Each structure stands twice: as structure tokens, then as C-alpha cells.
Structure 1
Amino acid sequence: MSTKMIYGASLAALLAAADPAFAQHEAPALQDVVIVTGHHEYDETEIGVSPDYMPTEGADITRLIARTPGAARIGNGELSGQVQYRGMFGERLNLRVDGQHFGSGGPNLMDPAFHYAPAPLVRRIVIDRGVSPVSEGPGLGGGADAVFKRVDYSGDAAPTLAYDLSAGYRTADSSYSYGGVAGLSTDSWRLNLLGSYEDGDDLEYGDGTIGGTSYTRAVLGASGGVRFGAHEVSADIRRHEAGPAGNPPFPMDIRYMDTDFAKARYLGEFDLFTLEANLGSVSVAHAMNNFDLRPAPASPMMWRETPAYADTTTGDVSASFNQWGGRLELGLDAYRAEHSATITNPNNSNFFVAAIPDAEVERFGMFAEWRGAVGSLNSELGLRVDRHTSDVGEASVGSALPPAPGMLAMAYNGVDRSFEDTGVDAVARFFTDERDGFVWRFTLAHKTHAPTYLQRYGWMPIPASGGLADGNTYVGNLDLELERALIAEVGFDYLGDRFYARPTVYTRQVSNFVQGGPFDSTPGVIDTPQEMISNMNGDPTPLRWANVDAEFYGLDMDFGYDFEGPLRFDGVLNYVRGKRGDVDDNLYRIAPPNLTGALTWQEHMWSASMEVRAVAEQDEVSATNSEQPTSGYVTLGLFADWHMTQSVHVSVGVENLFDHVYRDHLSGYNRNSGSDVTVGTRLPGAGRSAFVRIGIVG
């Protein structure tokens, strides 16, 4: 098969290897890789597809991940998009930013993991196909890592200058972005600065403007490393400042998100083993309110601002060595996060609610992972044990609140709020050697996930739901147990002379799945303090987090055909079903079936594509979450790429060519009255939008 048929496509990660050097160290059958960085030279032998050749669609890299098999995007704001993978999203997925795990700054996940990964700074996105390996940490579903750009070591003792820069503009929201890395390196040390800035106005669609969707984000940092013999020490620091940024599906918008990242790494090669150790720290200061990016409430008593904080410290150490005909890795890791959130009224200092009073979450884990051959099968076998503990401080309220919240706080403070449990994860992934173009894949896994601090410790009925944005108020549950999933999947990668396909069918049976349900056995009857408070805030039927049974199953694949000459076709197909196992209901916010296809004319230095995206209706909706069905839609886009030189690349295109007004099922419901979108209706997608992007590497 000619590799030109998959290089430069307008779809993502059609094969797993990112570039020749990267491919030597990873198992292509177990990963997808989206390349975001530019290329030093145009090379038809390079496998993998770069978002440099895709529609820009916005600032959030979750839009790029959503173009891969099994993935979709939860649209909670331009800088707050969450990844959905085979029906699961939020903190159930094992998401990392440049290898770091950390806690979100707020209880509504306005800053999910990839909020901290601006596209101008990301080199590649590594997606764990199906499930994450146990060496990457716990997680109920799959996972992904947004790997940042950096200047690598050179092959010379004299310092060499290198850079990877990009800039872009998009008409739908008059947004622009620029950034990248630049630095010096030798064969023994490297040092680079990195930075980016993005700014966008309110988003335009076919019938008007979506109010409260503007955003700003800036990042500045540095990365460096030193090699001495077979050992390397490196360090990275970044300052991230975002906001104001709109979140129309939420009751509030981001006022600011000020975050500091730091990490240090040691990697050493010894005679019999390789040793790696990492330390990381992330500190988030966050505030959200209901009056900066949307019309302020008429009554000053209804103004709200919530400052929230999250501090995460992580550490891990692992050793890998040859054993049993393969490579064995043994490791220990630890995670500690502190969270707090206080609801305030800036017009009344006596109005405050310590909604999350200093929650502490800790995890200590150990794992063993072996990669090698089991008979004729290549394999990855892993076992992981995690000890989870958490606790929370005392709830409190201000004197301006009525008596009921204070009584509820006193009752909450009088019970044992600590939690501890042990999770055991096991993963067995197998794939064959290539034969007649086929590589077969099989996976069996048992994965666990601890309830979040919000699901456990949310004592006051508030509309914070970890990003569900369904309009309900939620109450925590101190009796929640670990989620446990049994996972099975089978698929193959076929690469023929002209045709390729990578289908996968899967099932995930989850016990103790944490889902909102009726607060008590008499929903609608206001006979508890929680229901009374919730009713005062407009929701007479609050939901309480509970353990239920759930199941996910589906099919996803990417595929394509190389015609004679420079023409080819590439496509991605996704189908996922999410159901409750204990009652006759569906799970909330599950992506509808969808098919994306691109017809591309590929020359040596340029390409042009026509892309059609077809999304089916979604009527398998959650009655528990009062979810509304959505209609299907089709959009068309035109895109072109030109390598002006080996170092300069330009992309242009038009998305939603016919300015179709459509509503993505995962986009959420509008709660901003300063908009052309009616409050309570699902948010539309962007209208016709042109973009231009330029990248320069050297």
C-alpha cells in the first residue's frame, strides 16, 4: 500500500505510529497518535496524520481527538471541552497532559485535562486504544496524553537553534492564535522557551450569535534537560492563565483559571535495568461567576461568584528489565489532591457556602506490566493495585443564608466523612504479527475508578455535576463504592495494496457506576432539607449520586481506499450505546452514530480535500437526566494544504460550507440569556467559517 494514501488526510490517526523514531518504541496495534507539531521536511514515508491538515474548528484539542475512532467531544465551552471515548467521559478516562495527572480546579470541570493543552504547544496526542495500560495509572475507560513540543538534543557539541511555531485565524469567532517553542540544544543539554496566546469572540452560527462564548488563554513556560552518559535529568515549568471564557451550558462562566505546572524527571540506563522517576506539582486558582459574560441577575442578591482551588502532587518510580522473554516493568506511584470551592455573593460578604470544604484525595498504587510474546501472540499483561483514601473538612455557611443550609451543614459535620477502598485492575491485550495484511487484536480487562470528591462530598444541593451540565441539582453520597468495569474487545488492522480498515467491537459491563438518581423514594415530595433547599433554587427534584449498573457496547473503525493516481478516500465510523443495567433507561450524553468521509487529491507538496460529516439522530436519551433527543445532520467542508518549503506549511479551508444550522447532541443546553439561542435549547454548532493556519519549523 502506498503510504501517501494516509499521509496528510483530513481525518486523524489513521495509523498508530506518529513518526519513524516514535514508532520504534510503541506498539502500533495499541495506540492511535495525532501529530500536532509541524514537520522539518515533507516525507511520504512518514505514517500518521497531522492536525496541521485538518479543519481548525476551534481552540480546543478535544476537537482533534473527536476525529479518531471511538472518540467524541463534550461541548461545555470553547476552553472546557471534554473527551468522550466509547461513551465514557470526565474523570473516568485516564487523561494526562505531558505525562502529568492532576485534579481539575472546579467541581464542574470547567478546566478538564486538555483545557491545559493549547494546540500551538502540543506535539502529538497519544491515545490508548480501548483501555489504558496499568503503567499509566487507573481509569475506567481508555486514555490519552497530550505531549508538548520541546527542543530535543542535537547530535553536535555546538549549540543548535531549533523552533516550531504556528499562527492561525478563524472567521466564525474572529479568533486568532499563535505560539510554539524555540531554544538551543547540544548532544548533552537542551533548553527551550514555550508560549502561546489565543483570543476569540462570541461564536457565529446560521441564525445569529451564541452569546457568552468568547475566550482568552495564555501560556508561558520553559523546558530543559541534561544528559550525562546513560542518565538524563529534565525539568518543565509552565504558567497558564485563561479567562474570561464562556460556558453557556453552565450556570456560571470562567472568570479566571490561573495554574502553575512543574515537573522533574530522571531516566537512567543501568546494566540490567532502566530506572525512571517523576515528581509533579499542579496548583489551580479558579473563579467563576454569573455576571461577567452573561446578563447579570436583576436582583443583586442572586449574583454569584465561586472561587475554587486545587493543588495536586504526584510522584512515581519504575524499573524495567528483560524477563521471561519480554520486558517487565515494576512501579509505584502516588497522587494527592486538595480541593475547595466556596459559593459567594460579591454584593454581600455574609453570603457564602463552603460547598467543598477542603476535600483531600489520596491514592497510592503499585503495578507490574509485561510486554512480550505469548506463543504466537504479542501481548501486554498488566496488574495494578490502588489504595484510595479521602476525607473532607467541615461545612459552613454565612449568616445571610436561611436556617436550613446551616442545619444541613451541622448534620453533615456530625458524621464520619472519610473513605478508603482498594481497587484492582488487570489488563490483557494481545495482537498478532502481520499476515496477509491483517493484524488481529484482542483485549480483556477489569478496571476500577474511585468516586470523585464532588460525588462523595457534595453536601449542599448545587448544579455542579462534574461537567454533565444537565440542569439538575446534585447531592453527594458518602456511601458510594468503587466503579468496576469488565471490558472485552476484538478487532483487526488491515492494510492492503489499496484498502485499509481498523474495526473494533467492544463491550463494557460496569457495576457500581456512579449516576444521579432520585434523592429519595418520594421524588417531588419536598420532605427533606436537601429537597427544600433545592426547591428554593428552582429544582424541586434534586438528584443524588448513587451506584447503579451500566453497560456500554459499540463499533468504531477507520478505513480508506487509494484510487489510481493522486485520489484517495478516508473515513471514520462510530457507534456506541450506553444503557442502565438496573432500570429501563439510557445513559446521559452519549454520542449518536456518525460517519465522516474525506475525498482527497494528494500531490507531493499540496493536497485538497472535501469532507462530509453525517450524524444520526439520537433518541436513546436519559429520562433520569431529562435529556432531549436531537435530529441528525450533515455538514460539508473544503480544505487545502501547501508545503511552501520544507519548513513552511500553510492550511486553509471552509467548514460548514452551506452554513447549516445544526445541534450536536453533546453540545449542552444554553443557560446564557444574552444570546440569540433560546435559554434551555441545545446549543448550535458554528456556522460557515473560513480559516488559515501557518506553521514554521527549523
Structure 2
Amino acid sequence: MYTNTIQGVAPSRLDDGFKLKPLSQRLALAHAALLGFAVCLPLQASAADKQDAAQLAPMVITGVAQESPIKVVTDPRIPRQPVPASDGADYLKTIPGFSAMRSGGVNGDPVFRGMFGSRLKMLTNGGEMVGACPNRMDSPSSYISPENYDKLTVIKGPQTVLWGAGSSAATVLFEREPEVFDEPDYRLNGSLLVGSNRRFDRSIDGAVGSKEGYLRVLANASKAHDYNDGDGDRVPSRWNKWNTEAALGWTPTDDTLLELTVGRGDGESRYAGRGMDGTQFLRESVALRFKQENITDTWAALEAQLYYNYADHIMDNYKLRSITKPAMATQVDTRTLGGRIKGTWQWDAFELVAGVDGQTSEHRLRARTGSSPMMGRTHSNMAKDAEFNQWGAFGELTWTLTDSDRVISGLRLDRHKVEDHRDYLAHRRAIPTCPAASTSCFANPTANKNRTETLPSAFVRYENDLQAIPATVYIGLGHAQRMPDYWELFSASNMPIGKPPTSYQPTAFTTADPEKTTQVDFGIQYSQGPLDAWASAYVGQVRDYLMFVHTGNNSQVDNIDARIMGGEFGAAYNFTSNVKGDMSLAYAYGKNSSDGRAMPQIPPLEARFGLSYEQGDFSSAALWRVVAAQNRTDEGRGNVIGKDFGPSSGFGVFSLNSAYRLSKSWKVSAGVDNLFDKKYSEHLNLAGSPDFGFDDNPTRVNEPGRTWWTRVDMSF
């Protein structure tokens, strides 16, 4: 186990930008409650007078139901339980079927149905942010602040071809809607949250405009210190992050939109489950989109988009932790430029969406060096090690057979090109030079070479609105071929484990084949009277599944064949007009059919049970999350950042929340997560770092103990 004392750390460099004196836990909670009631009550009357003020839902969301066949849609701005999320992965965990690779308090990596990494296509306003860290410390979801978006959509399985190549597990869309003003006006939304472990979040979202255009500005910041687990032991997990966005829109007609968006963010975080911490998560984004609707009687819309995303990530082992070993730092960055153009055509029984898209991404790194204080703070000696290019064409057709029957099908074809710019290799990284007498590095046999692949994807789905009962059923067959990503081609060890680099050895760049997923998705959506219920299931086969094999500090990528199956189920029942119960269940199963082993890194069976009460402007809810033990493991195998290291125990966590709408414009919500201070850890987890007193034997990082939080929302 690990000790209860965390070694001292240097002051946060990001704290300089906020100048906030830390509050004790009790004082912070009292401050939030008093702020909510003392400020909101005097404003209740005046806010009520503003007839067009947005009305906030008096609730806290504890789970998300499926809205339609294969699709989940929700509003990421509504408070969630557990404590409202600070990044994309944390937020997705409230959707049945999602879990996350955990290593501390923030920046987990989302997993859906046991599928990880680029099997999840994750887009923000149609653009893709690619992380830079070779071990995904800055996963794409770590750059997403959920409250900056108006809508979150999850499309399950390989059941769409509209949003890029390789989305074999799911497509996740964080989207912002255009602003609409009929006359010169404004709106303003904001929130403030405080909680245990000095959690302090604040956000603002405002817009001004008229019928001809608008300006929208969003800004948020989130910070927290280390949390205590259920035994009261401190878990290194502090973070401090901020994001800003500005969108300028021009709407010369009701059917035309031209919008320019710019954004920037940064942060830092220390990790109980890693040997280094993230001391910079710099993000810069620029996007331009155009949309024209109602072009002709059949040509319904034309959309075009260009985006540029830049991630500059620094990690080290000395700024946020005390160490006795040599100080080290690494800087990596990724520049991604992409775009798409698509049109929508509609006829009596058909709708066609078709277009083209493309993306180019360049990755650079600075090799690890010693403890120079300025290490990692400049761009000198940054060397490009990889470049990815993709071009694709796609089409998706909806055929309405009758008022109750539909067939949706899609096809896309992608051309991929990957270039290897590494001159020398040394196990898990590229290096700038290789001494002649060295036995730990060798010249890269694929230096300045490239590989190309042409990969198809397709699906067909039948949906039927049943006549006998108020339900929709569906069944779909999808096939997706996925190009190996940066982590699969470049992050694994560059030589067979245990063998010296005395001769040519093939690397993952040449040996990792594209992954091919064929999957059947089926389910039902039911709603009548007090009962809403839904179920979605899948069964599939993955040829050439890309799996990591870890031995010590080395890793390799192997292609295997796998069988997968599972599903999600949910139901909600209104016992009375004020009392509602809901539950959900998620299960994933995987088998390595190449050797008969269990698939690694598969989340266990998970259930959620909720009970809520709502009366007028007041609501209260309870959530019981129950997770089964996971005994189907394959030790030493997994993905680029995680591996199985034995079975995990089951657990149950009980949480409570309440919310009160003070007026049309003000709401206060509060909650306590893990009410009974349960000590537990997630199955998908990293082993604790010895730097923080964890044993040499793999020890999972525990989750937070009892956590209190209070949030104030306002909208004008």
C-alpha cells in the first residue's frame, strides 16, 4: 500500500494567474451555499421580471438514457453526479457503456465497451484534437471542457460514416449551436462550483448579437488539490486548468451561417499512476465553418469546415513532486489541420448526405534530458518523428420505406499515408543521435519511409416503428477498417522484447496491420405511459485487433483476432407525478480468439440505480452505482497506457444531490458523492507510482472518498 504522506511539491505555476487564497473544505462549502442563497434571493424578483430569461432545469443528472436507435444525446452544461466533470472522459462516464482509464483526479482516457483510443472518434465542433504524449497523458478528451458545448452526441458502433475514418467503437460529438437573435439582444450564462479538496470551478458563457450576426465568448477554469480515498489516505491528483473560446458568426439570411472560432487553454496535473506529471497542456484552436440551407427544392444544405488544432504538452518528474532520482522532462507537440465539405439532398423517400474530408497531423518531440530548469520550455531541438495524412469520401443514404420503416446505409473510402521521420530508435522513443558504441539504440530501418493504406468502411441499418406497441426496433451491420494510430505505430518498443538491437528488427511501423471490425448492433426503444425503456446490444469480430504486450518497461504491438459482445439496458418509471426511478446496466465481453484468452482491459458489469423527487422548483435524487468484480483478465496485456495486473474487486457507491431553482435565472445544486466514504478502485486503472510511496507490486490507484460539492448556476 501507499503512505498517507505526500511529498512536498513546488507551487503551481498556474496559480499565479488566479491569485486565490486556498479555502478549507468546510469554509469553501459554506461560502458556496451562502453565495448561492445570499446573492440569488435578492435577485429572484428582478430576474423573474425578465420574461425571456432561460429557465434552468431544477435537477442534477445522474445518468443518460438512449434517445433514439444507436444514439445518445444530452446537454453537457447540466450539472452531473458524481461531482460535475472537468474534462471529456469524466463527463462521458455518466453514459452507460463508458468507463475511463484512471490514474488520479483528472485527464482519464475514455473507454467504450472495452474499446480504447482512436477506436473512439472524438470531435469538437466537427474538428479533431489529437494529443501529443506517447503515453496519452494528454488524451484528446483532456483538452475538452464539457461546459463549452451545447450538445453531446454519442453514436454507438460502426453505424455512421459521416465523421471521419476508423470509428469502430463509437463516434462522440461535442457541438456548439449557432446563436439566434431576432433583434439586438444578449444572453449570459455562468456557474460557480466549490467542493472538497479545494475544488473550485467557474465558467462564463455570453453572447451578443442581432439578426445579422453574433459574438459568443466562453471561459472556464477548474482546479483541485489532492483527494483522500475512503481510508483517508492522500492520493496525488491536483490539477489546475483553464479554457477560453470566442465565436464570431455572420448570418446575412436565415439560411446562411459563416462562423469563425478561436480558442486557447492550458493546465497542469500530477498523477498518482504515472512516473511523470503534466506541467503544460497548451491548446490552440482555430476553426471556420460555413452552412447554407434550402439551396433548391432537393438540395437541402451545403456545409464546409476548416480547422487547425495545436497541442503543446510538457511532462516532467520534478515540478509537481519531490524525487530522489534524476530529474527528467519531455516536450511533445502535435499540429493537426483538417477539413470537410458535405451536402444534403432530399427527395420524397430518400435523403443523401455525401462529401469529402481530409486531415494532416504532424508530431514532434524533444528527447528526455537532464534537470535543466529551462528544459521543455523552448522549441529548440524539437524534431519531427511522425506525419499522418488521410483523405476520404463518404455517403450516407436514408430510405423511408413507409411511415414506420427506414433503411439507413453508408459507405466511405479512406486513403492513409504515414511517414516515419525517426533517424534513431531506443526502445520507447526516438532519439536525436546514437553513439557508435551504444548497445541501447540503433539506426531506424524505416527512417524517412512511408506506408499507405486504402481502407473501406460501410454499414446498413433497418429501423421499424412497431404498430402493436409504442416502440422502435433496429438492427444494423457495420464494418470499419482503422489505420493504426500514432501510439500503435510509434509508442511501442521498437525492438522485440529481450533482444538486443544487433541486427535489423522490424518495428511496429511495418508490422502493425490495420484493424478490421465487423459488428451487428441491435436494440429497442420503448415509451408508453409512466415507463420508458431501451436496450442496445452488439456482437462482433475484430480481425487484426491491435493489442499491447507489456514486459517491464517495454511494450510491443501484436495483431490478434478477437470476438466481442455486450450491451446496455436502461429504464425509467414514474411512480407518481413527483417520484421517478431509473436504472441502467452495461456489460462488455471480449475473447482473444487467436489464443483463447480473455481480452484485456475490459470493464466489468456495471449497474446504476436512481431515485428522484421533484416538486415545483425543488428536486432531490439518490444514485447507487454498483460495479461487479472482474476476473476475466490477461496480465501484462492491454493498451498503450494500461495493462491488466490481476482481477479487481466489486464495489458499490451511494451518492445524493439536491437542486433548487430560485428563479427563472438562478439555481443552486449540491451533492455528496460516495456518501459512506467507501474505499474502492476502478478496474481500468494504472498502478501507483513509487514516487508517492506505492508498493513496487502493482497497486491500483483508489478513487475519492466522501466528496461534497455545491454549484450555483445563473442564466439571463
TM-score bracket for this pair, using the shorter chain length: 0.7 to 0.9
Partner residue of 2:76 out of 36, 40, 65: 36
Change (3 A) 1:70 1:261: same
Partner residue of 1:384 out of 399, 403, 412: 412
Change (3 A) 1:437 1:403: farther
1:64-463 alignment, distance < 5 Å: 64-138=91-165, 139-148=167-176, 152-156=179-183, 159-171=184-196, 173-229=197-253, 230-243=255-268, 245-269=269-293, 270-271=295-296, 272-273=298-299, 274-296=301-323, 298-300=324-326, 303-323=327-347, 325-347=349-371, 357-374=384-401, 376-396=404-424, 397=431, 403-404=437-438, 407-408=441-442, 410=443, 412-413=444-445, 417-433=449-465, 435=467, 436-458=469-491, 460=493
Distance 2:573 2:437 in 1: 68
SS for the counterpart of 2:128 is coil
Corresponding position of 1:523:
none
Distance 2:615 2:507 in 1: 57
Query: How far 1:413 moved relative to its partner?
Result: 4.2
Corresponding position of 1:596:
608
Distance 2:485 2:107 in 1: 18
Distance 1:211 1:606 in 2: 35
Change (3 A) 1:354 1:475: farther
Query: How far 1:458 moved relative to its partner?
Result: 4.1
Partner residue of 2:651 out of 604, 620, 633: 633
CA distances 1:562-609 after superposition (whole Å, capped 9, x unpaired): 113411111110111122110122222211001110111121211111
SS for the counterpart of 1:673 is helix
Change (3 A) 1:401 1:79: farther
Corresponding position of 1:521:
none
Query: How far 1:234 moved relative to its partner?
Result: 0.4
1:335–1:363 contact (8 Å) kept in structure 2: yes
Aligned length: 628
CA distances 1:347-379 after superposition (whole Å, capped 9, x unpaired): 379x99999842000000000111231355223
Whichever residue aligns with residue 12 of structure 1, its letter is G
Q: Which has the higher contact order (CA 8 A, sep 6+)?
A: 2
Change (3 A) 1:654 1:399: same
Query: How far 1:694 moved relative to its partner?
Result: 1.3
Change (3 A) 1:642 1:583: same
Change (3 A) 1:69 1:206: closer
Whichever residue aligns with residue 653 of structure 1, its letter is G
Distance 1:679 1:165 in 2: 45
Q: Percent same amino acid among aligned pairs? A: 20
SS for the counterpart of 2:322 is coil
Query: How far 1:292 moved relative to its partner?
Result: 2.1
Change (3 A) 1:577 1:7: farther
Query: How far 1:503 moved relative to its partner?
Result: 1.1
Query: How far 1:295 moved relative to its partner?
Result: 2.8
2:489–2:509 contact (8 Å) kept in structure 1: yes
Corresponding position of 2:678:
660
SS for the counterpart of 2:489 is helix
1:475–1:543 contact (8 Å) kept in structure 2: no
2:71–2:156 contact (8 Å) kept in structure 1: yes
Distance 1:604 1:580 in 2: 53
Whichever residue aligns with residue 387 of structure 2, its letter is E
1:151–1:181 contact (8 Å) kept in structure 2: no
CA distances 1:14-43 after superposition (whole Å, capped 9, x unpaired): 252xxxxxxxxxxx3342112123xxxxxx
Query: How far 1:106 moved relative to its partner?
Result: 1.5
Change (3 A) 1:57 1:325: closer
SS for the counterpart of 2:79 is helix
Is residue 522 of structure 2 the alignment partner of residue 497 of structure 1?
no
1:683-694 alignment, distance < 5 Å: 683-694=701-712
SS for the counterpart of 1:62 is helix
Distance 1:454 1:564 in 2: 51
Partner residue of 1:609 out of 611, 621, 642: 621
SS for the counterpart of 2:629 is coil
SS for the counterpart of 2:597 is coil
1:501-520 alignment, distance < 5 Å: 501-517=533-549
Is there any run of 5+ residues in structure 2 with no aligned partner, and where?
Answer: 1-56, 425-430, 496-505, 638-643
Query: How far 1:403 moved relative to its partner?
Result: 3.7
Query: How far 1:648 moved relative to its partner?
Result: 1.2
Q: TM-score normalised to the size of structure 2?
A: 0.83
Q: TM-score normalised to the size of structure 1?
A: 0.85
Distance 1:475 1:614 in 2: 42
Distance 1:685 1:118 in 2: 21
Change (3 A) 1:143 1:7: farther
SS for the counterpart of 1:629 is coil
Q: CA RMSD in A?
A: 2.8
Distance 1:459 1:89 in 2: 16
Corresponding position of 2:62:
11
Whichever residue aligns with residue 508 of structure 2, its letter is G
Distance 1:279 1:416 in 2: 28
Is residue 582 of structure 2 the alignment partner of residue 557 of structure 1?
no
CA distances 1:451-506 after superposition (whole Å, capped 9, x unpaired): 012322347559xxxxxxxxxxx973422221000010211011121222111221
SS for the counterpart of 1:280 is strand
Is residue 630 of structure 2 the alignment partner of residue 618 of structure 1?
yes
Distance 1:475 1:632 in 2: 39
Query: How far 1:677 moved relative to its partner?
Result: 7.9
1:210–1:677 contact (8 Å) kept in structure 2: no
Whichever residue aligns with residue 133 of structure 2, its letter is G
Is residue 667 of structure 2 the alignment partner of residue 649 of structure 1?
yes
